[in-house]
Copies of this chain bind each other. A is one copy, B any other.
Amino acid sequence: MNQQPGRTSLIDRVAELVPDDMVQKLIGPRGDFTAASQCPVRDVLDRLGDAWSFLVVLRLSEGPQRFNALKRSVGGVSQRMLTVTLRSLERDGLVERRVFPTTPPQVEYSLSELGHSLVGPMAELTRWASANHDAVRGARARYDALPG
C-alpha cells in the first residue's frame, strides 16, 4: 500500500478497524475484482445496494413479520421485488422463513443470527446518513448552482 510521504493518511485509521488481509482482499494489490463474488465488500454491497434489502433487514430487526405485513411496513415495494429480496436474503443466510400450514397459509420471516450481526454496521452507516444528509444535500445544491 504505497503511502505518500509527509501526508496524513486515513488508511492508518482504517487499519485500526480493518485487518490487513481484509484490506488486501478488499482493495487488493491490483484491485482486480471484476467478479463481485471474489470481493467480500462488493458481495455485501450488491445485496445492500438494492435499497429493499437494507430496509427489509431493518424492518425485521424489530421482530418477525409475515409477508404482507412486511410489504405494508416497508412501503412502495412491489410483491415481486419483496419476494425476490426475501429469497435472496434467505439464500445468504440473513433471513429465516417459516411456513405454518394453516388455511390460508402463513409465512413468517425473521432475521437469523447472521442477519442480526449485520444490523450494527448498518446502523453505523445509517447514523452517518442521518447526520450528514443535510451536508450532502447542501453540497449538491452548491454544485448544481455552479456556472457551466
Interface residues of A in 1-58 (CB under 8 A from B): 1-4, 7, 9-11, 13-14, 17-19, 22, 25-28, 30-34, 36-37, 40-46, 48-51, 54-55, 58
Give min CB distance, A92 to chain B, whole Å.
5
User: CB within 8 A of A18: which of B45, B54, B130?
Assistant: B130
> In whole angstroms, what is the CA distance A143 to B30 when docked?
32
Give min CB distance, A122 to chain B, whole Å.
7
Q: Which residues of B contact A17 (CB under 8 A)?
A: 120, 123-124, 127
**CB-based contact A126/B91 at 8 Å:** no
| Interface residue ranges, A against B (CB under 8 Å) | 1-4, 7, 9-11, 13-14, 17-19, 22, 25-28, 30-34, 36-37, 40-46, 48-51, 54-55, 58-59, 61-64, 72-76, 90-94, 111, 114, 116-130, 132-133, 135-140, 142-144
